[in-house]
Amino acid sequence: MELTPMMRQYLAAKEQHPDEILFFRLGDFYEMFFDDAKLAAKELGLTLTSRSGDAEKNPMCGIPYHAAESYITKLINKGYKVAIAEQIGDPKAPGLTKREVIKIITPGTILSESALTSAQNNYIALLYEAGENVILAGADISTGECFYGVYSGQDRTQMLYDELYRLAMPELVVIGELSFNEELLAFIELRLPRCSFTHREKPAEQPELRLSQHFPRELWPQENEAKEGLASLLDYLHETVKNDLTNLNRLTKLDVSSNLVLDTYTLRNLEVTRNLRDGGKSNTLLDVLDYTETAMGSRLLKRWLEAPLRSIAEIDRRFDAVEELSEGFTLRESVRSSLKRIYDFERLLTRAEVGTANARDMVALKLSFRALPEIKEALKDTKAELLRHAYENIEVYKNLEELLEKAIVDEPGITLRDGGIIKEGYNSELDEYRAIARDSKKLLQEMEEREKEATGIKTLKIGYNKVFGYYIEVRNSGKDMVPEHYIRKQTLANAERFITEELKNFETKILGAQEKIVNIEYQLFTEVRETVAAELTSIQKTAHEIAVLDVLASLAEAAASNNYVRPRLMDNGEIRIKDGRHPLVERILTQDLFVPNDAVLNHGDTEIMLITGPNMAGKSTYMRQTALLTLMAQAGSFVPAREAVVSPVDRIFTRIGASDDLVSGQSTFMVEMNEVAQILKYATKNSLVILDEIGRGTSTFDGMSIARAVVEHIRDHIHAKTMFATHYHELTDLEGGHVKNYCVAVRERNGKVLFLRRIIEGSADKSYGIHVARLAGLPNSVTQRAEKILEALEADSVNTVPEKKAKAVPEPKADMGMGSLFADTLREDLMAYDVMTMTPLEAMNALYKLQQQAKKEAGKA
């Protein structure tokens, strides 16, 4: 088949981009050909056509260029890459129009507003293995962040996977071959199924040259391998975005030594930022605490929760700011009201820097600039260090605000090439062309009157036709009065037609006015955009301060709205919580009252809380609650409790719930053992460990043996603060030394069981599994038969199971001290009443209130 010059041009471009779908600009359309056309037609629902009439042999399909963004986004979301080949030459010039690929769009480099979730980062990550080290480099080009980490030793891949899970990047670039490639693929498939891979053969050849384009030398990695990995990522970004990317100027090293480490299991089990149901934000800790007003703040809050602090001084700095904002209602409302008017600075700046920002983006920046003086004014008299820092470092951009106000219309269109984006009065040349386009008829009439008056030719008139354009027509009777500067253009039977320099200039302006208007507006807009981009570094710093302020205000709003308290930080290893509440569960419970509970963990007599009690009684909720409150405190958040003392921990480990990793072919029990193995391997004396029902996935004696051995190992070798929930009552004989028994209070009456949701000292003597089965709806015949089997098994086990040493807690009775079963708030409310001075009506109201509270806490309301 003989190819046209245009098709040869297309194939040459496609040869350079075999892994991308090539969008080839032809006039007002992007066209795709051959295999790209088949793929795009399938994924986008387009109709295949052909220039030759044979869609099977020479398939093609196309989309309007002005609607390309939505089509590209669809392809990117499916994991494809798109190369954009634009017309570089003048389409009106003779011969083949020059075209070249101006950018490549990938899942990790897409910048269109419609493709990005405002409250989430869009990271791209790169892995490079050099000897014993694995280098992770990453960036979010939409916000200007860049980071790297170096992993070595036997734990390198586990630490790497934990970080990849946090990043949740849509694209991973791999340099060369990885020794753990199969393991990595399995992890990505299981935990990050939407992540696409990009392979590169070699690392960057001149890493320092590339690094010098973005970061000051003092920020560069020390390790040569890290320099190569980071430069390789930057090379890839430059090759795809095809821009100097000066917004990538902030570099941080991933270092867990200063943070509370939350591994993949813990982040999932505690549902910190992603829920277990669909991986979304709803019903997560992030969801509960997110009162942010800006996209920047929401993204930063997520990072704070996924990497809480360990330094008491740094945490207290956050507490001081949250306290001042939570106690100062007027201050908080003023700050949050101003924050509402601030758009996504970081991404607006990136689009300005790479040249994709439109006029609406500039208006958003203007409105954001306008809110900054109000924020500084609100913070002027604050005392907390972080609030003072925000006050001092938030810049006010009055000049840019005035420029944008003067230049850009208040409600511009989306497309820059349609015009209508520059205000009247900003540019005299533009105003002149607009006047010509708008008032051409009036201007021609004025010119005609001037010429009549100047020449004295009363019959003179100005006309227009498509062949000759504009002309001055003079009848033969007046041709003797024609001035010398008139140029003869056409002779008619009874008239002569002329042109003048003024009329020629007017004609040029008239005919090209609209095109000129669009071109001038575009040029003026790009100048404004470049002026804004020139302040990029300064505005980025202000954006960061705004994000921090937004997070602090969000945590303050959460504290004020949900009755949270400031934890007291200690360094003695103790965690002591009074009337703690689960931040997620208490919000979900609308009909029932959440029953608060105490928690005490230390390195003395309660290093390990051994918790027994029935299913559905609240053990898992209680343990998650303790872990979440500790995490919240170290992130800088107040906590749902009456009092809280927290000694920062280095890691939180959780083994909660049952889940089969069917994709990886692992059973529930295998998953459980893997997670326990990780905990025993990495936990330290300063860790918090949450273990729920260890060993239940195998036979009773196997499971009991494993559970007991795990508790003993933690007690004797690790000394981590541990909550260990179990149905194996036989383990309660471990009490003593660092182990203390706790159980869930239960009341039995007339064969019915009531779970009181209170954790009390002592051990349970029953699991009430059959009772739970009855509540679930198992037939009576089944549950009755189960009770008989249980009686036989318990009788038979007397000779095979060692006698329990720990005394079981007696069944709660009506005359027991209810202070041990119900919240201390009830007792304190009762003690606070001055009975001798109350009127009868006041006494009745108080008694009724206490009765309703008691009913709720007993589950009878």
pLDDT digits (tens, 9 = 90+) for 588-625: 876 667 889 999 999 999 999 999 887 666 788 999 99
826-835 own/partner pairs: CB under 8 Å, 24+ apart: 826/850, 826/853, 826/854, 826/857, 829/853
Q: Averaged over 848-861, what is the pLDDT?
A: 65
Q: How big is the chain by its Cα radius of gyration, in Å?
A: 36
Compute CA distances 830 → 135, 354, 680, 824, 840, whole Å. 62, 66, 46, 10, 16
Angle at CA 348, nearest 5°, toward 556 and 149? 70
φ/ψ region of 415 (left if φ > 0, alpha if ψ in -120 to 50, else beta) reads beta
Single out the residue of 344, 257, 251, 249 nearest to residue 307, CA to CA.
Answer: 257
Say what the pLDDT of residue 1 is. Answer: 56
Query: Would you list the DSSP string of 559-605?
Result: HHHHT-BPPEE-SSS-EEEEEE--TTHHHH-SSSPP--EEEEE-SST
Residue 784 pLDDT > 90: no
d(CA 581, CA 588): 12
Q: What are phi and psi of 199, to 5 degrees?
A: -110, 140
Residue 111 in this model has a pLDDT that exceeds 50:
yes
Q: d(Cα 645, Cα 601) in Å, to the nearest integer?
A: 10
List Cβ neighbours of 22 (8 Å cut-off, separation of 6 or more).
Answer: 10, 13, 14, 32, 33, 36, 82, 83, 85, 101
CB within 8 Å of 117: residues ≥ 6 apart = none
Q: Is residue 302 within 8 Å of residue 286, measured between CB atoms?
A: yes
Residue 812 vs residue 621, higher pLDDT? 621
Segment 701-724 shows an average pLDDT of: 93
Q: What percent of the chain has pLDDT over 70?
A: 90
pLDDT for res 657: 65
Round to whole Å and give the CA distance between 267 and 263: 6
Residues in the chain: 861
Hey, what domains does the chain have and what are their CATH numbers? 5-105 (3.40.1170.10), 113-254 (3.30.420.110), 290-397+535-562 (1.10.1420.10), 428-521 (1.10.1420.10), 568-814 (3.40.50.300), 822-857 (no CATH)
CA dist list (Å): 435 to 320, 404, 432, 465, 794: 59, 23, 5, 22, 98
Closest CA to 211 of 241, 183, 251: 251
Does residue 397 have a pLDDT over 60?
yes
Contact, 309 vs 303, CB < 8 A?
no
Of 163-172, 461-470, 489-498, 846-855, which gets the smallest average pLDDT?
846-855
Say what the pLDDT of residue 139 is: 96
Going by the DSSP 8-state scheme, the letter that residue 2 receives in this structure is P
What was the pLDDT predicted at 497?
94
CB atoms < 10 A from the CB of 323, how many?
17
User: What 3-state DSSP class applies to 171?
Assistant: strand
Residue 800 has pLDDT above 60, yes or no: no
Give the range among 517-531, 574-588, 814-828 with minimum mean pLDDT. 814-828
How many C-alpha atoms does 784 have within 13 Å on its Cβ side? Answer: 3
User: By mean pLDDT, which of 99-108, 694-703, 770-779 is the weakest?
Assistant: 770-779
DSSP code of residue 75: H
The pLDDT tens digits of the residues spanning 328-342 come to 999 999 999 999 999
Is 824 a residue whose pLDDT tops 70?
Answer: no
Q: HEC states along 643-697? A: EEEECCCCEEEEECCCCCEHHHCECHHHHHHHHHHHHHHHCCCCCEEEEECCCCC
Question: What mean pLDDT value characterizes the chain?
Answer: 87
Q: For 617-671, write each residue's pLDDT tens digit.
A: 678 899 999 999 999 999 999 999 999 999 999 999 998 865 544 444 566 778 7
Distance CA 292, CA 277 (A): 24
Q: Which amino acid is at 394?
A: I
Residues 6 or more apart whose CB falls under 8 angstroms from that of 102 comprise 84, 85, 86, 88, 242
Quick one: which of 229, 54, 210 has its CA closest to 130? 229
Tokens of 483: 């001035």
Asked if 678 and 688 touch (Cβ cutoff 8 Å), the reply is no
pLDDT value of position 666 = 60
Specify burial of residue 440 (Cβ count, 10 A radius: 0-12, 13-18, 19+): middle
Tell me which DSSP letter residue 664 carries: G
Q: What gap in Å lies between CA 46 and CA 37, rounded to an integer?
A: 9
Residues 6+ apart with CB under 8 A from 500: 472, 485, 486, 487
DSSP string, 281-327: STTSHHHHH---SSHHHHHHHHHHHHS-B--HHHHHHHHHHHHHHHH
Residues tagged in the binding site annotation for ATP: 613-620
pLDDT of residue 756 exceeding 50: yes
Q: Are 112 and 73 in contact (CB under 8 A)?
A: yes
* 633 sits in which H/E element: helix 619-635
Determine the angle formed by the axes of helices 668-682 and 700-713, rounding to 10 degrees. Answer: 10
- Per the structure block, which two tokens stand in for 803? 């006698």
Task: Give the pLDDT confidence of 368-386 residue by residue, as tens digits.
Answer: 999 999 999 999 999 999 9
Amino acid occupying residue 778: L
pLDDT tens for each residue of 28-71: 899 999 999 999 999 999 989 887 666 677 899 999 988 898 99
User: 13 and 33 in contact (C-beta within 8 Å)?
Assistant: no
Distances from the Cα of 510 to the Cαs of 120, 423, 460, 464, 525, in angstroms?
49, 21, 21, 12, 23
Annotated binding site: 613-620
Q: Count of CB atoms within 10 A of residue 727's CB? A: 22
Q: Which residue has the higher pLDDT, 835 or 677?
A: 677
Contact status, residue 664 vs residue 727, Cβ threshold 8 Å: no
pTM of the model: 0.83
Running DSSP on this structure, what letter comes out for residue 86? E
Minimum mean pLDDT among 207-211, 255-259, 772-776: which range?
A: 772-776
Exposure class string for 221-253: b at 16+ Cβ within 10 A, else e: bebebbbbbbbbbbbbbeebbebebebbbbbee
Per-residue buried b or exposed e for 533-570, using 16+ beta carbons within 10 Å of the residue's own CB: bebbeebbebbbbbbbbbbbbbbbbbbbebebebbebe
Model confidence at 748: pLDDT above 70: no
pLDDT mean over 704-712 = 91
Q: Which residue has the tokens 């997670």?
A: 675
pLDDT-derived band at 569, boundaries 50, 70, 90: very high
- The upper half-sphere exposure of residue 778, i.e. CA atoms within 13 Å in the direction of its Cβ, equals 13
Task: Say if CB 452 and CB 470 are below 8 A apart.
Answer: no
E-strand ranges in 315-453 read: none
Helix (H) or strand (E) holding 854: helix 840-857
CB atoms under 10 Å from CB of 663, counted, come to 11
- Cα(861)–Cα(855) distance, integer angstroms: 5
